[in-house]
Structure 1
Amino acid sequence: MGLTRKILLGMSAGAAIGIGINLLGESQLVGAGVNNVINLYLTEGLFDVIGRIFIASLKLMVVPLVLVSLISGACSLSEGSRIGPLAGKTILLYMVTTAIAITLALCLALIFQPGVGVNETVAGAVSGFEPKESPPLSEVLVNIFPTNPVAAMAEGNMLQIIVFALLMGYAISRCGEPGQRVAALFSDLNTVVLRMVGVLMVFAPYGVFALLAKTFAQLGFEVLLQLAKYFSVVLGALLVHALVVYSVLLKLLSGLNPIELLKKMRSTMMFAFSTASSGATIPVTLATVEKRLGVDNKIAAFTVPLGATINMDGTAIMQGVATVFIAQFFGIEIGLTGFLTVILTATLASIGTAGVPGVGLIMLGMVLQQVGLPLEGIAIVIGVDRLLDMVRTAVNITGDAVVSSVVAKSEGALDEETYYDANYNSVSINDNNTIGAH
């Protein structure tokens, strides 16, 4: 059985058991004592421990993988002049897809009007919600550049790590023979780190099972039913963006068959759905983009970590629908100018707030402030945000793969034989514990 099927089986089993635990807790079939035991030793015990260990193991790999892979890729750009155009194309594409995502979300929200007729009791203690304050833009821009690369790696500050890795890779490529020796070292380190990722992927189905079992065990269906219209609009927008918008962009900008990309990204999307973290999924996304889509390391090593940091199409969709939902809920008209402001603010904020904790809600707070909507409205949508967060993470990493493929094709760094190779229809672990074909 390939890794894709194992992960799918783990997801299905985890969701089924989690839903069963949730229904059991809401029913009167067992006493409060039994429910407390299940919650203490299973949901918050076994499932929580396994899931957190698995996420921690993945995060362990993120910094060394991004640093080593990006330095190795930047070294191969021996003519440093390519770094500028590569970065420009990548950032522009990420911003364009984000703008399209939020425009799509606003259109669907205006058509289906998810906030009309929603009872105020859905919000619960709306007045008690205190959104985090967003940092000033000047501070965010300054913080992109590291003062201490070791501290940046210790804190997992991806933008600072990317800046440091690009600078070091550029310097190595211009150092002649000493640079070649260092470049060979990083190339070997990259191979070793990818093998470590392969070792961890053996345990992916079990980690996925535990994560989903805990999530669905704690997910209350009452809130989901109350916010069903909002939930459905966000979910529909996410699916349209992932399956239609990305496919059209990939075909128009590169001529590649989008069906091949979606098939080869299935297991990675399921993985992202389970972890709900683009950062934790970086090792898997990077391996898939390189090994199965044929994107050269020097491109993938830059576009994937950057995308996991600033590409927030899924979050932008949530913001678009949530903005309309909150405006309708409070009966506030924001007009065409307001909607254009939402598109511009969310697109720029996707880069400006990268790396800030709780970035999704901070971005939503910034958007609401710009159009004069009450920040307390965020509390209304929080109830179903966890499940939607899982879906939008899968959308985000799909966007990373699409942009990586488009940029690689434009740079002549895409192996189309690998991209169209039917043997790469599933991820598996080879004998040497590296991720490869099955």
Structure 2
Amino acid sequence: MGSTDTKAKKPRKKLGLTSAIFIALGLGIVCGVIFHYFIPEGFVRDDVFVNGIFYVVGQGFIRLMQMLVVPLVFCSIVCGAAAIGDTKTLGTVGVKTLVFYIFTTAVAVAVALTVGNLINPGVGVDMSSIVAGDVSALDSGGSSTDVSIVDTLLGIIPSNPLGALAEGDMLAVIFFALFVGIIIAIMGRKAETVHSFFEQFNDIMMNMTTAVMYVAPFGVFCLLSRTFAGVGFEAFIPMLKYMAGVLIALALHCLVVYMILLSVFARVNPITFLKKFVGVMVFAFSTSSSNATIPLNIETIVNKIGVDRRIASFTIPLGATINMDGTAIMQGVAVVFTAQLFGVELGPIEYATVIATATLASIGTAGVPSVGLITLSMVFNSVGLPLEGIALIMGIDRILDMTRTAVNITGDAVCTTVVARQEKRLNLEVFNDPDAGKESEKMTDAA
């Protein structure tokens, strides 16, 4: 009798946020496939569900996350810079972060070009079976593809900080926030009131992020349902070699290159890192937005990995803006695919140009869905490839975009962990604790 009472009083295990997002992702894919193949086209399927409920809830969730990004990034970087205090240390962290991001992006393109030339994705493809998209938006006078390096560098300095905040110009926001944080650190006690304001506002933004994350599984379910309801599997068949090339290169970069960097430079167990970070990767996969993933990335890297918040608040937002390894990989494979498809010969000089252009193109790229297609036109122009190649991969890019976003944000987290370790700002006890951070992601059960 007593044992029965004990069992009855045993509390139910609560569902964690990561588990809930995993479940929502799986159910969303299944639901989308069912809608695509088993429910006939018509008002109910297309207008009520696919372009109605799924679209509104999914995009509503994305907008909630985007709503938090600019104020959260601004306050995080101000607080991080002010808390680090020593401008020399801040400069060291900044230089290491930039070098790491640029290096890994260049490696990513090299990996993609190597994989592309090994599997030859454009050889033997029947172009008549591929539905081409519209590339007019990518070649409308060159406004989006002909931005010089000088203009990109000057664009970092905002002529109107409030305008940069309103428009979500992340490089300009980061520059201004960093400037404000450094001045607060230099002024010390004279700026205590302003410093406290930003710290308290940052806490408010973190609490808002926690509140928004409670609806993440519903948003993920609707985003995946709508994607698979519209795409199905037919569009993939003629592009399987191209997709395989991108996915193989992404896997190699994420599971080999990043893990080696963690082992060598951070001296931590990469398997432990992956286990703790997989929830953020799933979230990035479902939203296809590096910017929308910033809040969850920061919280995970601080609470589960053990990185000092002052480091994470600086490197994660910066990475979401300038570190696009996954996007660079897609561009590398796309170059090989298009060159083979149209019979364009590329030599060592052209491949070196692709590596340099794709690396530079990632700087200042907005962390929003499918932006890689825009910068891809810049890469194609650098080696004389026809933009029609971009039109051919548009149809299946959504799925690849989801995967490469997961790699993008993983690169940000790996860099943050490496820099924190080298600056002695990584708590190894937290990193090695399998339960670290779990209390912050508990979801309430239904009564």
TM-score by length of 1: 0.93
Aligned to 2:95: 88
- Partner residue of 2:388 out of 376, 381, 392: 376
**Residue identity opposite 1:9 in structure 2:** I
Whether the aligned pair in 1 keeps the contact of 2:282 and 2:406 (CA below 8 Å) is yes
Q: Label 1:397 to 1:178 Cα distance change in 2 as closer, same or farther (>3 A).
A: same
Aligned to 1:101: 108
| CA–CA separation in structure 2 for the residues paired with 1:357 and 1:314 | 12
Aligned to 2:30: 16
Aligned to 2:11: none
- Partner residue of 1:351 out of 353, 363, 377: 363
Moved more, 147-156 or 108-117: 147-156
TM alignment of 1:196-235, pairs within 5 A: 196-235=208-247
- Once the two structures are TM-superposed, the CA of residue 221 in structure 1 deviates from its matched residue by 1.8
Moved more, 138-147 or 258-267: 138-147
**Residue identity opposite 1:14 in structure 2:** G
Aligned to 1:289: 301
Whether the aligned pair in 1 keeps the contact of 2:184 and 2:195 (CA below 8 Å) is yes
Identity between Structure 1 and Structure 2 (%): 46
Aligned to 1:250: 262
Unaligned ranges ≥5, structure 1: 434-438
**Residue identity opposite 2:147 in structure 1:** P
Whether the aligned pair in 2 keeps the contact of 1:345 and 1:367 (CA below 8 Å) is yes
- Once the two structures are TM-superposed, the CA of residue 429 in structure 1 deviates from its matched residue by 3.4
| CA–CA separation in structure 1 for the residues paired with 2:194 and 2:341 | 59
- Partner residue of 2:44 out of 21, 29, 37: 37
Q: Label 1:354 to 1:278 Cα distance change in 2 as closer, same or farther (>3 A).
A: closer
Deviation per CA, 1:41-88: give whole Å up to 9, x if none: 001001111111111111111111111111111111222122222111
Deviation per CA, 1:73-122: give whole Å up to 9, x if none: 11112221222221111011011111111111111110100000111213
Q: Label 1:427 to 1:331 Cα distance change in 2 as closer, same or farther (>3 A).
A: farther
SS of corresponding position for 2:396: helix
The number of equivalent residue pairs is 425
Whether the aligned pair in 1 keeps the contact of 2:370 and 2:398 (CA below 8 Å) is no
| CA–CA separation in structure 1 for the residues paired with 2:228 and 2:440 | 27
| CA–CA separation in structure 2 for the residues paired with 1:286 and 1:127 | 37
Whether the aligned pair in 1 keeps the contact of 2:135 and 2:387 (CA below 8 Å) is no
**Residue identity opposite 2:113 in structure 1:** L
Deviation per CA, 1:201-231: give whole Å up to 9, x if none: 1111111111111111011422101101111
Aligned to 1:238: 250
| RMSD over aligned Cα atoms | 1.9
Aligned to 1:405: 417
Whether the aligned pair in 1 keeps the contact of 2:146 and 2:378 (CA below 8 Å) is no
Whether the aligned pair in 2 keeps the contact of 1:3 and 1:426 (CA below 8 Å) is no
- Partner residue of 1:391 out of 393, 398, 403: 403
Aligned to 1:436: none
Q: Label 1:352 to 1:213 Cα distance change in 2 as closer, same or farther (>3 A).
A: closer
| CA–CA separation in structure 2 for the residues paired with 1:177 and 1:230 | 58
SS of corresponding position for 1:392: helix
SS of corresponding position for 2:362: helix
Whether the aligned pair in 1 keeps the contact of 2:220 and 2:287 (CA below 8 Å) is yes
| CA–CA separation in structure 1 for the residues paired with 2:225 and 2:198 | 39
Q: Label 1:115 to 1:427 Cα distance change in 2 as closer, same or farther (>3 A).
A: farther
Unaligned ranges ≥5, structure 2: 1-14
TM-score by length of 2: 0.91
Whether the aligned pair in 1 keeps the contact of 2:58 and 2:223 (CA below 8 Å) is yes
| CA–CA separation in structure 1 for the residues paired with 2:52 and 2:302 | 37
- Partner residue of 2:57 out of 29, 32, 50: 50
Whether the aligned pair in 2 keeps the contact of 1:368 and 1:374 (CA below 8 Å) is yes
**Residue identity opposite 2:430 in structure 1:** T
| CA–CA separation in structure 1 for the residues paired with 2:216 and 2:350 | 44
- Partner residue of 2:138 out of 121, 131, 144: 131
Q: Label 1:424 to 1:154 Cα distance change in 2 as closer, same or farther (>3 A).
A: same
- Partner residue of 1:320 out of 332, 340, 347: 332
- Once the two structures are TM-superposed, the CA of residue 254 in structure 1 deviates from its matched residue by 1.4
Aligned to 2:77: 70
